[in-house]
Each structure stands twice: as structure tokens, then as C-alpha cells.
Amino acid sequence: MNLRRLAAVWHARNLEFLRDRATLIFNFLFPLALVVAFALIFGGEPRALFKVDVLAPPGAALDAGLHPFLGTRHVDFVRIGADDLEATIRKVERHQVDLLVDLRAAPRYWVNEDSPKGYLAEKLLLESAGGRAARQPVTGAAVRYVDWLLPGILGMNMMFSCLFGVGYVVVRYRKSGFLRRLSATPVTALEFGAAQVLSRLLLTLTVTSLLYGALSLLVPFRNEGSVLLLFAVAAAGALSMIAFGFMMAARFTSEELATGAINLASWPMMLLSGVWFSLEGAPQWLQHAARALPLTWMLDAARAVMLDGAGLPAVLPALGVLVGMAVLFLAIAAAGFRWRSD
């Protein structure tokens, strides 16, 4: 090994990296943004021991002035609306909420008699209320974490396949000159993009279906809804994320920059779309930001089908949003598509 030649190549590669300002800036900003995101999501006070949903009079503050129980420490009190009552009762049945308290008139509460945390939260409520609260017992099996997590894992796998399977490949086509040669043919940017989207859609849905079938044999999980409807949700979600990946790669010429930008887009979806944990109870602005991500809509619809047995009318708005996102992303990509790298 010649150390002078090694040093010359090493020096040249360092200069190449430093001159690629976009990649250099990304390598600095991405970890910074990631740490800030984790600090916003997981920072602050220690996590509460119990989660209690509260139906309170309009405009009333959730504090001890409304009811002594609301002054209990280490309990996460979440305000709900009257329209959310039935949905929250189902959460109590499935151990997703420890207690549901209605303070609009005479205090009453719902508790799952099979929930250990619900039992303790009920004791705290009755002690603070002096036993003056009407009890509404419910029963139901808990939604296991694996039941809740499975859609997130499959959705995350689809997200990476969609974003990198289209975004990175299109940039490589552009850098190798394949797109330049293709531009001499009658193929339009929209036609090229649609072909890429449909090809990746077929592959993604095939792999996800095989994974779903294999997991159903190896790890029994809960699915109370229609498998065909679940497939439609997966198709709409994959379509929107593939179009998103194609939009991001419409103009990039550097594979390194494209990879970094796709990572920058995928990490917020992993953190905010509910892959690993629910954002319920998080700041409202954070929940609104998550609604701008296609993975959020897909996972919410998939969990509604699998855990709640939701039908087509319940998930139709989510399907509409996902298809609308796909059309928007594909139109933006086609309008600004770049055939050449120079």
C-alpha cells in the first residue's frame, strides 16, 4: 500500500464532500432536528401513572376547582367532547384508558373491572370524591401492545419501501444518464412517474400481504374488520407515500442528498404517525402536524379496521385524503421533473 496515493485519494474525497454544501448542511441539521424532535415528544415532566379521560362542562378548567380528583398528581387528565363518549367507553373496555369520568352534572365514571390500573384509579377517584360518584362498570379484553403495534410495523416497512424504492432509484436513473436518453422518447414525466408508482405499488402490496399472512400464522393478532378493506387502506397509503417519494426525487441529482432528504422525511413519520406510540394527550399543535403526514392517515384507518372493526363509511375520509395526497404529490413531481443531472 502506497500511503501517498492513499492520502491523495483521502484528501480528494474530503474536498468532494465539503464542496457538496447541501449534503454537508444536511449532515449537520438532521441530527440536530432529530434531538429537538425527541426533546419535544419525550421531554418535560415524567410520564403519568394513569390516564383518565374527562367529560367536563364547556369552558371549565380541568383542575381541583371543578372536582378534587382533578388535583391528583401523576394522573394524565385528557378532556374529551360529548361526541367522543362512545369511542372512549370502548377504550376503557380495551384498557387503553384507565378511567372515564363525566363531570357535567352528577359525577359518574366508567371503569373496566378487569383492569388493574383502572382498579387503582377508581380508588383514587372515590377517595377524593368521598364515594359520591355513580359507577358504570364495563368489561372487555385488553388490546395487547402487539395488536396495536402490528399496523405500525407493517406501515413503517411500507414507508421505507415506498420512499427509497422510488426516490433513490429515480435519482440513480438521472445520475447514470438513463433519464436523459428517456427524455428523447415520447414518454412524458407524468407517464414515467405513473409507471414508477404503479410498479412500486404492486411490489409493496405483494410483500406486505405476504408478511401479513406469515404473521397471522406465527403471531396471532387481532383483526375485527374486513381484510379487503384493510387491503384498500394499505393500497391508498402506499400510493400516497410512493407519490411522495417520487416528488422528493423529481429534481435531486446527488444520491447522497436524496438519501438524506428521504431520511429527513421518514423520521418525522416514524415519530409522529403513531408507529410505536400514540400521540393522544400530546400537544395539539403536534397532533395537527402529524395529520399532514400520509402514514398517520393510513395507520389510523388500519387500526380502526383491525381493532374497532370499522367499515367503509368510517375509513372513507382517510381513503379520500390519501388518494388526494397521491394526486397532489404526483402532479407536483411531474410539473417540476428534471430529466438531466446538469
Report phi then psi at 254, rounded to 5: -105, 125
Q: Report, at the CATH architecture level, how domain 50-138 is classified.
A: 3-Layer(aba) Sandwich (3.40)
How far apart CA 107 and CA 92 sit, in angstroms, is 17
Tell me, what's the pLDDT at 32?
A: 64
- Structural domain boundaries in the chain: 3-42+144-335, 50-138
Tell me, what's the pLDDT at 21?
A: 59
Give the chain's residues under pLDDT 50: none
CB 305 within 8 A of CB 226: yes
Could you give the 3-state DSSP secondary structure of residue 99? strand
Residue 340 amino acid letter: R
CB 143 within 8 A of CB 278: no
Tell me, what's the pLDDT at 1?
A: 61
* pTM summary value: 0.70
Q: At what angle do helices 189-218 and 312-335 cross, to 10 degrees?
A: 140
How far apart CA 122 and CA 47 sit, in angstroms, is 19
Report phi then psi at 132, rounded to 5: -95, 80
CB 256 within 8 A of CB 339: no
